[in-house]
Amino acid sequence: MAEGTHVLDKPPPGAAADWTIPQNWAHYTREEHETWDKLFERQAKLLPGRASEAYLRGLDVLKLSKPGIPDFEELSERLMKLTGWQVVAVPGLVPDEVFFDHMANRRFVAGNFIRRPDQLDYLQEPDVFHDVFGHVPMLADPVFADYLAAYGRGGLRAMEYDALKYLGRLYWYTVEFGLIEEADGLRIYGSGIVSSFAESRFALDDPSPNRIRFDLARVMRTQYRIDDFQQNYFVIPSFDELLRVTVETDFAPLYRAIGGKPDIQIGHIMPDDSVITTGTQEYARSRRGEQQAVLA
């Protein structure tokens, strides 16, 4: 869930009242299935030794290595047996209350379209590869599955406090771009990283970004950008701890507390941060230079 506006403000023709639509798996073309296979093969070779143990287990147990775009019905049947989740198709980005309600009820909303062959490396709107390859393997992990359902319930409450900006940052820096500290080192579990060929390497290998131990209030105050690599990655010690913090925190006073403080700028290190890697920020500086050159 990113800050910003949604594509649609009411269910389009053919969508149910809850915004779900048929996946229409039989209508995918051979080229679309080949695009999935190409993306899958590239990431599957890259992720061992980089992705978290939970992610790799999910990829295996859900049988996502089967050729072609997964059938949501078959995928949901496997997921339901493991963690009670299912995957439902939606026509695009949906309103916040719809997004949170589905999540709170263990329904993961996914786009049913796939990027074009000339968009393999970047697509701003999440497609079926990002949603299914990136997110769904983590839903096979019982603890993370509980975290995401708790997040959905928290989202519905956050709307009452006008605090979606803060909760959206929690989603961004965990579900989308989170790192975890495992026995063999840092690993990725965020869907925005595991589904990206370039950021799967940047997040762990590049000296540019900061890698900071997770702190709930810190994360919720931290800005991010949706159109480039991250300059902050937050590292959780375990999924159990992420779930514990989420369900044991009273968010109402936390929203009030951080609402009275300024946002933390991207790439900034705070005095009380527990820093694993202090980034050089070289990537961010080079990107600013490129942008200034274009404008000059």
pLDDT of the chain, 296 residues: tens digit per residue: 444 444 567 888 889 999 999 999 999 999 999 999 999 999 999 999 999 999 999 999 998 888 999 999 999 999 999 999 999 999 888 899 999 999 999 999 999 999 988 888 877 778 999 999 999 999 999 999 999 999 999 999 999 999 999 999 999 999 999 999 999 999 999 999 999 999 999 999 999 999 999 999 999 999 998 889 999 999 999 999 999 999 999 999 999 999 999 999 999 999 999 999 999 999 988 876 665 554 44
| Second CATH level (architecture) for the domain 25-295 | Orthogonal Bundle (1.10)
pTM of the model: 0.92
Residue 52 and residue 182: Cα distance in Å, rounded?
Answer: 8
Residue 288 and residue 26: Cα distance in Å, rounded?
Answer: 45
Give exposure, 178-208, as e/b (b: 16+ Cβ within 10 Å): bbbbeeeebbbbbbbbbbbeebbebbbebeb
Parse the chain into domains and list their residue ranges.
Answer: 25-295
Residue 255 and residue 262: Cα distance in Å, rounded?
Answer: 13
Place of tokens 């073309």: 29
